[in-house]
Amino acid sequence: MKAKPEKYLAITGGVGGAKLCLGFSHLLDADQVSFVVNTGDDFEHLGLHISPDLDTLTYTLAGLSNPELGWGRQGESWNFIAALDALGGDTWFNLGDADLATHVVRTQMLKTGASLTDVTASLTRKLGIDHQVLPVSDDPVRTIVHTQLGPLAFQHYFVRERCEPAVRGFEFDGSGSAKLSAQLKAVLADPDLAGVVICPSNPFVSIDPMLAVPAFTQALRALEVPIVAVSPIVGGEAIKGPTAKMMQELSVPRSAFAVAEHYTDLIDGFIMDQQDAALSNSVAGLNIETIVAQTVMVTLADRIDLARTAIDFLRRLRGGG
């Protein structure tokens, strides 16, 4: 009898998470790992439905991402946005010419009744991605950032205001009533599911919007397999994005320990960077198993190594390794 495959679930937001997911996609076959992606950043702009985190992961897995920008597509051109500017259109959210095709197709498919899950499956397949990429919900979840300037829709905070206004808190519109898709339910209920990884994404605006969906968090808590998180904070700083700035503004200590504490009710294990080894004992004090690894992913080999570290850690936590 052939051994059943161990299956894994990775929960991810933007660029940092996508790097680790790329590692998983190289390490594990398409039937061994699925990706659940934040939709709290999604918004309607210029009549288009834009899903930044889904696109970041899709372009990353397809080998199309733009490493210089950290978003969008490589070899991109910008004639649409220049023409839009001349016509007096809204240009605060930059859209590349090729990237636009993704938003146009998604918007059209959604209008004709396809779910975001179906749209994402179609787009990823067309770009040659075999692994399953799943939005956390087909129902809208929209992150609102409460700031010194008042509440801001996520992209207004993140792009238009360049994360400058000090953050006071967050709200995830729609999360309370958002349902899980049949596809995500199937992944969560799969008897071969062997572990879950929370990728090194921003806990507040990449992971929390997903955890704010009650059915998702309940399903994670009900699992009999371990959940581990990878710290997005290394040496007190975020590799990318406003995580560290947000922690300071929220009066949370800017450390990997604070990230572990943030997830304390959910995770069994925590992976932090070797630079933060001194914090291991404190995290262990939260009753969370901790390992250190090289979490700064520069090369593809780094991504695959960290993915392997996470899988090995999950095996050990299951008592199988």
Nearer to a second copy, 124 or 143 (CB): 124
Nearer to a second copy, 108 or 264 (CB): 108
Instruction: Retrieve residue 247's tokens.
Output: 């922690």
**How near is the Cβ of 95 to a second copy at its closest, in Å?**
9
Nearer to a second copy, 110 or 153 (CB): 110
- The whole-angstrom separation of Cα 20 and Cα 200 is 8
For the chain, how far is it from start to end, CA to CA, in angstroms? 21
Nearer to a second copy, 89 or 320 (CB): 89
- The whole-angstrom separation of Cα 195 and Cα 200 is 16
**Which residue has 């939005």 as its token pair?**
135
**How near is the Cβ of 74 to a second copy at its closest, in Å?**
12
Among the listed residues 267, 272, 287, 284, the one whose alpha carbon sits nearest the alpha carbon of residue 233: 272
**How near is the Cβ of 29 to a second copy at its closest, in Å?**
24
**How near is the Cβ of 130 to a second copy at its closest, in Å?**
16
**How near is the Cβ of 69 to a second copy at its closest, in Å?**
15
- The whole-angstrom separation of Cα 314 and Cα 32 is 14
Among the listed residues 103, 108, 104, 177, the one whose alpha carbon sits nearest the alpha carbon of residue 140: 177
- Which residues are at the interface with a second copy (CB under 8 A)? 46-48, 73, 76-77, 79-84, 86-89, 96-102, 104-105, 107-108, 111, 122-123, 126-127
Go through 203-220 and write b for each residue having 16 or more CB atoms within 10 A of its CB, e for each that does not: bbbbbbbbbbbebbeebb
**How near is the Cβ of 125 to a second copy at its closest, in Å?**
9
Nearer to a second copy, 76 or 208 (CB): 76
- The whole-angstrom separation of Cα 289 and Cα 16 is 22
**Which residue has 């439905």 as its token pair?**
49
Nearer to a second copy, 83 or 149 (CB): 83
Nearer to a second copy, 82 or 301 (CB): 82
Q: What is the 3-state secondary structure (H, E, C) of 48-113?
A: EEECHHHHHHHHHHCCCECCCCCCCECCCCCHHHHHHHHCCCCCCCCCCHHHHHHHHHHHHHHHCC
**How near is the Cβ of 285 to a second copy at its closest, in Å?**
49
